[in-house]
Amino acid sequence: MAGNTFGEIFRLTTFGESHGTAIGGVLDGCPPGVDVDRDRIQGELNRRKPGQSDLTTPRKESDEVQFLSGIFDGKTTGTPIAFMVPNQNQDSSDYSHLQNAYRPSHADYTYEQKYGYRDYRGGGRSSARETIARVVGGTFGRFVLDTYNIDIKAYVSSLGDIELNQSYKELDLSAVEDNALRCPDPDTAKKMTDHILEVKSEGDTLGGTITCVINNVPRGLGEPVFDKMHADLGKAMLNINAVKGFEYGSGFEGTRMKGSAHNDRFYKEQGKIRTLTNHSGGIQGGITNGEDIYFRVAFKPIATVMKNQESITSDGSGTIIEGKGRHDVTVIPRAVPIVEAMASLVLTDQLLRQKIRR
Amino acid sequence: MAGNTFGEIFRLTTFGESHGTAIGGVLDGCPPGVDVDRDRIQGELNRRKPGQSDLTTPRKESDEVQFLSGIFDGKTTGTPIAFMVPNQNQDSSDYSHLQNAYRPSHADYTYEQKYGYRDYRGGGRSSARETIARVVGGTFGRFVLDTYNIDIKAYVSSLGDIELNQSYKELDLSAVEDNALRCPDPDTAKKMTDHILEVKSEGDTLGGTITCVINNVPRGLGEPVFDKMHADLGKAMLNINAVKGFEYGSGFEGTRMKGSAHNDRFYKEQGKIRTLTNHSGGIQGGITNGEDIYFRVAFKPIATVMKNQESITSDGSGTIIEGKGRHDVTVIPRAVPIVEAMASLVLTDQLLRQKIRR
Amino acid sequence: MAGNTFGEIFRLTTFGESHGTAIGGVLDGCPPGVDVDRDRIQGELNRRKPGQSDLTTPRKESDEVQFLSGIFDGKTTGTPIAFMVPNQNQDSSDYSHLQNAYRPSHADYTYEQKYGYRDYRGGGRSSARETIARVVGGTFGRFVLDTYNIDIKAYVSSLGDIELNQSYKELDLSAVEDNALRCPDPDTAKKMTDHILEVKSEGDTLGGTITCVINNVPRGLGEPVFDKMHADLGKAMLNINAVKGFEYGSGFEGTRMKGSAHNDRFYKEQGKIRTLTNHSGGIQGGITNGEDIYFRVAFKPIATVMKNQESITSDGSGTIIEGKGRHDVTVIPRAVPIVEAMASLVLTDQLLRQKIRR
Amino acid sequence: MAGNTFGEIFRLTTFGESHGTAIGGVLDGCPPGVDVDRDRIQGELNRRKPGQSDLTTPRKESDEVQFLSGIFDGKTTGTPIAFMVPNQNQDSSDYSHLQNAYRPSHADYTYEQKYGYRDYRGGGRSSARETIARVVGGTFGRFVLDTYNIDIKAYVSSLGDIELNQSYKELDLSAVEDNALRCPDPDTAKKMTDHILEVKSEGDTLGGTITCVINNVPRGLGEPVFDKMHADLGKAMLNINAVKGFEYGSGFEGTRMKGSAHNDRFYKEQGKIRTLTNHSGGIQGGITNGEDIYFRVAFKPIATVMKNQESITSDGSGTIIEGKGRHDVTVIPRAVPIVEAMASLVLTDQLLRQKIRR
């Protein structure tokens, strides 16, 4: 109801503000008896955390997760899994000058309009630090999906004007982690890196897109008419900070095709029903058909720029938002594990929902 | 849980198959004392129904709504509003040849994979006739939104390759209903009409995009972090049949901008805090800021073409899906009221959710 | 949210007012492929309907159910099952004198306080006619429970001061339908019948209790900590019109026992873990242990008496509520199938919820 | 879905096992701007905690609550309020002998049946320590209810065979905290205390009942037909450990009355509509009518006795459960704040739900 819970059966509730005591979550509905690989959870958090390369903010946060419940002898018990990452390295005084000022294209003004009251330190609840809890929850989803061999892989497919021109089928997705940009093509990654350094020197920021591919998806997942697989994925992605668009399969480009060309023809191969093309993105009528799911997510440029910006305060008087602090030029590389985590939450939830019918 | 209910407080549950007894719904959570304008509900249904112009299928369905509960003396009582539209003009024998065959890019195969069993007549539950219930529910939302002066208007912004080049600010949206295409620019509408007739003669189909604009939105609506206003809108749209993508505000194009250009600068005008530009699409941090909400929805070309297509049956043997029946060349013009209805459901729900805080 | 839906996975939404167009419901989440025995559904409705014996109101209502969706070739399809029973024999003019008057211990005043507006005809939404939808939904639950051999049987265990002294183990529950009172002991049934006729002649009404027993319950059902099996059963029963109390297992009497006597000792019999006694009522820690579930439900005397009663109208002036119309002396015998139906909804829902874990 | 969340708008999710890292919860949907009185929260926890008097277990736990999010400058921010109480004084080795044994009338066996796996230390998730989180959540409810002057007060109304004979109207409820038993009549409290000491010397345990009264309830709260005020209260109480029954207003005794005597006659007093009697317990048709709500809750005797008990282990072989450790003779006095907390959660939730309609 208040928007802090995601999922129907595999349900993640997150809590925490960027400069409060901790960021964390409660994952309810995780099946019992699942082996918990804590190193993998921490590994995913490390992919998300700041300071992991020259391309990201030098802010150092250890982001070590502590578990409070729901795990016994290294396995899930079926009861709620609560966890938290204490906030460190917060210097709230950094933000005192923002107490009454509204940063452009941030959530300062809207949070105040909604709640009448806001924790102005570092974005409070609207900070992307909240996604820490999603990464932890999503990794538990991975533990479940692994038993079905379902694999989720995301990568940077554009940065500003620089686009990766190959389709996911033409790329070696095992190379995503080979560079700090999480772009599987080394040449494009190099161009993107140069672009970031150039824009950084201008004190400006960049947006881009992330593509995500899901392999080995069981047939029959997705709940029409209102919880279609792609609708749940779309909502999951649109809830990530800075996301402005979502498309799956043929997406916006597919609107230019004619039906006879767009239709995916069925055939049978090795006893399995398949389609020759996959404009459907692995989903027909909101339900998976066994082909790869793939989708693309648009991220706007980061709103915090290293330039002075004119704005106003809560009483309407003019003010200058100074460009200072330690911030990323783009969220894209660090958003890759977040996109994967949200996809994992959706897939796990839909998988468990379908179990009721078997 | 099973995907047939939309909304948290203003909740619509839909039921019905295209060739069953009726399509209908139950709207729960509508405030009491709302005046029910039955003509307006029927008017919205008429905008959606087939056979309304030369551009749409000649199939005739009266689509008259009957109310079963929740209304007394012309007003809502606060109890569930149940309604139905009996199915007529169904000739189930039309579909007997499809009992075991999978139409390409339809939901035949996936429904069978999900439920192990399907009503194969006319798409059954996956038919777009289900959206009748959404249009009825959405119109009740309009009754509530009207009291806040919130206005929702959608229009066709592209059909296949033909794009409407003006932004919504440059168009006269009161002209949307002036042509059968629901494109507010007469010249573009003419081009689109010609294109439909041409593609119809080929026995093929078209996709396109719909843009939707919402004016007079109160500040503070939307529930971060998981029910952000644009995430709920995105999910609503992605749940409409044939939708492949959603973007709001600057959308995918915005990923190419730099932060300093993309940021919307605040200013104060007539006692109200506004922004000079609106790349945010009226939503910052998932919460409305009082500027117009605008978004764009991608529809794939209709899967039912008037050409013979190769496919297979449930036992894997080859079959031909013949191109016959009475079908639209594109869903776009008839989808306009559906986009508006889904937007109305989201806005009303978020409006009522925010009431708790006041 | 608005209180018209019951269950998490096996979800029943009901609609309708006593003098509106129809009473009905939408059952969502029913597994696909379940055989639908329409005669049995109608049979359960007939157990509930008025006019079935001399003991119940002579009001005649055929209460024939019509299905609108979700069933194909005699089986559930997994999509929402919508159904309705049109209201007949309604003479709304019967109620015009009650437009502004508040009947004592009815819901007239409270509905008006809640919604600001009410359908005053025959109780509107607060009428027990709404339970028609529960009986239909509960019978679908029976179809599912039958495949697990789970059996639910309720009976009248007291009427006013007349109590059935035997425990359920000492009774022949197959005899419940042998008399109009649905009391399995013929002698007690005779005493109760005489008592009803006596109280009827006084123009007064009676309350009583119903006991319900559930056999062959699988182990492991129930969701602690907030959806314990007995808590869900208790809520289900307390939501039936006129119910004032619920106890299970040893219940209120059990509070007088000492722990050493109350504890149910485990033993193993034919490879199964059982308990020697069953003060726990088949539920420990909110989860079923395989023993019989049994519970008792208290119904207050019917508020509509055939005597004149003093009351007030909405403007506070005095009025007389006349004792007239065709009404039961007690709800108890007709409530037996309703108790069973609600128990069936709970068991089916908890059964499906546990399926996620297997 | 998995049973760890309570409430629709004012939603409490609890987590934690008795011998895990911490017990805690996330309260979502609390209105923003509510003053947080931490001393009062700790005070309520102290009423619940062990070792507070000679009558309760000498186990010492400080039970100090730590807040993780959702509070800023002493006020709620409208975002999720996460909190925890670290577990101390746990000696897990106390429980190693129980790893495979099923304690009679505990949840050992049923948790294992449900999850296939259990944290056997001290009851794990089924421990009453989980109610710590409810007390914290319920106190936040009190902060909201205080602004409406709604007052909730519970007290011990029977212990084993010893009953408090006065009705709540005849008692001075301000005296509840004057004795360790939380029984407002000193003479009865004395008798109960003696009885506890006597039964303690036998190594046995006791059950009893708690009565709860709610004053100044606004009219119109409660959501028929499935979330009636008394049904939500009943479910809340039945979800407290050891509860076996719930009745409100005239309850089970009311089933013996005739309708003409049971009906509550309306009258007008000082501009307000009231009833002369209150057999309805302040609720008619599931909606509050402004009179006092009162109800009674049955608690079974504690299952942990200081006597050796025969039982079996998971492989079916016989074992002896030894009576040892530090345990209460009865839960009743410590359950008083838990009953109040659960009532507070229900009232606050229903209050916020009704706000949507105004």
Q: Do A22 and D116 touch (CB under 8 A)?
A: no
Q: At residue D281, does pLDDT exceed 90?
A: yes
β-pair partners for D251:
none
The domains of chain B, with CATH numbers, are 5-357 (3.60.150.10)
Q: Do A15 and D70 touch (CB under 8 A)?
A: yes
C356 interaction partners in chain A (CB closer than 8 Å):
9, 29, 31, 352, 355-356
Amino acid found at A335: A
Q: Do C11 and B24 touch (CB under 8 A)?
A: no
- Does any CB of chain A come closer than 8 Å to the CB of residue B117? no
Please check whether residue C63 is in contact with residue C46, taking contact to mean a CB–CB distance below 8 angstroms: yes
Indicate the average pLDDT of chain B: 94
C-alpha–C-alpha distance, residues A177 and A48, integer Å: 12
Q: What percent of chain D has pLDDT over 70?
A: 96
Considering only residues B98 and C150, tell me which one the structure prediction assigns the higher pLDDT.
Answer: C150
Amino acid found at D285: G
B132 interaction partners in chain A (CB closer than 8 Å):
none
Least confident of A45-54, B61-70, B76-85, D246-255: A45-54
Nearest residue of chain A to residue D349 (CA atoms): A1
Q: For residue A323, what pLDDT is reported? A: 87
Q: Do A160 and B288 touch (CB under 8 A)?
A: no
Nearest one of C290, C296, C286, C260 to C278, comparing CA atoms: C290
Token reading at B166 = 């003006």
How many residue pairs bridge chain B and chain D with CB atoms within 8 Å of each other?
A: 21
Q: For residue B114, what pLDDT is reported? A: 95
- Residues within 8 A of B (CB atoms), C 32-71 only: 32-33, 66-70
pTM of the model: 0.97
Token reading at A116 = 């009448």
Q: For residue B278, what pLDDT is reported? A: 98
Element (H, E) at C187: helix C186-201
Confidence of residue C52 (pLDDT cuts 50, 70, 90): confident
Token reading at D3 = 């049973």
A124 interaction partners in chain D (CB closer than 8 Å):
72, 77, 79
β-pair partners for A214:
A152, A293
Which stretches within B98-185 are classed as H helix? 108-115, 131-146
Please check whether residue A25 is in contact with residue A14, taking contact to mean a CB–CB distance below 8 angstroms: yes
Nearest residue of chain B to residue D32 (CA atoms): B357
Q: Do A114 and B357 touch (CB under 8 A)?
A: yes
How far B355 CA sits from the closest chain D CA (Å)?
Answer: 6
- Does any CB of chain D come closer than 8 Å to the CB of residue A27? no
- Does any CB of chain B come closer than 8 Å to the CB of residue D356? yes
Which SS3 state, helix, strand or coil, does residue A335 take?
Answer: helix
C-alpha–C-alpha distance, residues C144 and B146, integer Å: 45
Q: At residue C331, does pLDDT exceed 90?
A: yes
C-alpha–C-alpha distance, residues C169 and C184, integer Å: 12
Q: Write down the ipTM of this complex.
A: 0.97
A82 interaction partners in chain D (CB closer than 8 Å):
15-16, 22, 24, 84
D1 interaction partners in chain A (CB closer than 8 Å):
8-9, 11, 28-29
Which SS3 state, helix, strand or coil, does residue C34 take?
Answer: coil
- Does any CB of chain B come closer than 8 Å to the CB of residue D29? yes
**What are the Cα distances from residue C153, in Å, to A92, C169, C278?**
64, 12, 18
Which stretches within chain B are classed as H helix? 38-48, 108-115, 131-146, 186-201, 229-238, 259-262, 332-355
Nearest residue of chain D to residue A27 (CA atoms): D15
Confidence of residue D329 (pLDDT cuts 50, 70, 90): very high
Least confident of B121-130, B156-165, D175-184, D211-220: B121-130
Q: For residue B348, what pLDDT is reported? A: 98
Q: Do D13 and A26 touch (CB under 8 A)?
A: yes
Q: Which chains touch B (3 or more CB pairs under 8 A)?
A: A, C, D
Q: Do D356 and B357 touch (CB under 8 A)?
A: no
Q: For residue A3, what pLDDT is reported? A: 97
Residue listed under structure tokens 């597994």: C31
- Does any CB of chain C come closer than 8 Å to the CB of residue D238? yes
Half-sphere exposure of C155 (CA within 13 A, CB side): 29
Residues 6+ apart with CB under 8 A from A163: A157, A188
Please check whether residue A190 is in contact with residue A197, taking contact to mean a CB–CB distance below 8 angstroms: no
- Residues within 8 A of B (CB atoms), C 239-268 only: none
Mean pLDDT computed over C306-318: 92
Q: For residue D123, what pLDDT is reported? A: 83
- Does any CB of chain C come closer than 8 Å to the CB of residue D23? no
Question: What backbone phi and psi angles, to 5 degrees, belong to A25?
Answer: -165, 170
Residues 6+ apart with CB under 8 A from A93: none
Provide the residue count of chain A.
358
Q: At residue C121, does pLDDT exceed 90?
A: no
Element (H, E) at D154: strand D151-159
Mean pLDDT computed over A28-57: 90
Which SS3 state, helix, strand or coil, does residue D36 take?
Answer: coil
Which of D15, D29, D118 is nearest residue A1 as measured by Cβ atoms? D29
Least confident of A135-139, A333-337, B142-146, C54-58: C54-58
Nearest residue of chain B to residue D31 (CA atoms): B357
- Does any CB of chain A come closer than 8 Å to the CB of residue C223? no
Residues D109-163: tens digit of each pLDDT: 999 999 997 788 878 999 999 999 999 999 999 999 999 999 999 999 999 999 9
Nearest one of C247, C228, C355 to C287, comparing CA atoms: C228
- Does any CB of chain B come closer than 8 Å to the CB of residue A163? no
**What are the Cα distances from residue B227, in Å, to B7, B221, C291?**
11, 10, 43
Please check whether residue D305 is in contact with residue D200, taking contact to mean a CB–CB distance below 8 angstroms: no
Q: For residue D92, what pLDDT is reported? A: 60
Considering only residues B220 and D60, tell me which one the structure prediction assigns the higher pLDDT.
Answer: B220
Q: Do B298 and A130 touch (CB under 8 A)?
A: no
Q: What share of chain B is helix, strand, coil (3-state, %, to 5)?
A: 35, 25, 45
Using alpha carbons only, give the angle B304, B308, B311 rounded to the nearest 5 degrees: 80
Mean pLDDT computed over D326-343: 94
How far B90 CA sits from the closest chain C CA (Å)?
Answer: 15
Nearest one of D99, D67, D76 to D30, comparing CA atoms: D76
Which of B21, B69, B72 is nearest residue C68 as measured by Cβ atoms? B21
Please check whether residue B16 is in contact with residue B23, taking contact to mean a CB–CB distance below 8 angstroms: yes
C-alpha–C-alpha distance, residues C181 and C47, integer Å: 11
- Does any CB of chain C come closer than 8 Å to the CB of residue B22? yes
C-alpha–C-alpha distance, residues C142 and C76, integer Å: 14
Residues 6+ apart with CB under 8 A from D181: D55, D156, D159, D189, D192, D193, D196, D332, D333
- Does any CB of chain D come closer than 8 Å to the CB of residue B356? yes
Please check whether residue A211 is in contact with residue A157, taking contact to mean a CB–CB distance below 8 angstroms: yes
Residues A303-356: tens digit of each pLDDT: 999 999 999 998 889 999 988 877 899 999 999 999 999 999 999 999 999 998
Q: CB pairs under 8 A, 24+ apart, for A160-166?
A: A160/A195, A160/A199, A160/A206, A160/A207, A160/A208, A160/A301, A160/B255, A160/B256, A160/B258, A161/B256, A162/A188, A162/A191, A162/A192, A162/A195, A163/A188, A164/A188
Q: Which residues of B38-56 are buried (b: 16+ CB within 10 A; e: fewer)?
A: eeebbebbebbbbeeeebb
Mean pLDDT computed over D13-21: 95
